[in-house]
Structure 1
Amino acid sequence: MFTQHTILENVLICLRDMVPLSEQVGPDSDLVNDLGLESVKMMDLLMKLEDEYDLSIPINILMDVRTPRQLANALVAYVEKSHGAV
Structure 2
Amino acid sequence: MLNRKVVLDYILECLQGMVADDQEIKPDSDLVNDLGLESIKVMSLLMMLEDKLDISIPINILMYVRTPEQLLDALLPHLESANGTL
TM-score in terms of structure 2 length: 0.93
Aligned alpha-carbon RMSD (Å): 1.1
Q: Deviations over 1:18-76 (max 9, x none)?
A: 11245411111000000011111110000000011011100111100000011011111
Aligned residue-pair number: 86
Change (3 A) 1:22 1:83: farther
Q: What corresponds to 1:84 in structure 2?
A: 84
Following the alignment from structure 1 to structure 2, what is the Cα–Cα distance between the partners of residues 22 and 39?
21
**Within 5 A, what are the aligned runs for 1:6-17?**
6-17=6-17
Q: What corresponds to 1:67 in structure 2?
A: 67
TM-score in terms of structure 1 length: 0.93
Contact 1:16 1:22 in 2 (8 A): no
Following the alignment from structure 1 to structure 2, what is the Cα–Cα distance between the partners of residues 4 and 59?
21
- The runs of at least 4 aligned residues of structure 1 exceeding 2 Å deviation read none
Q: Taking every aligned residue pair, what percent have the same amino acid on both sides?
A: 55
Identify unmatched segments of 5+ residues in structure 1.
Answer: none
Q: What corresponds to 1:31 in structure 2?
A: 31
Change (3 A) 1:22 1:71: farther
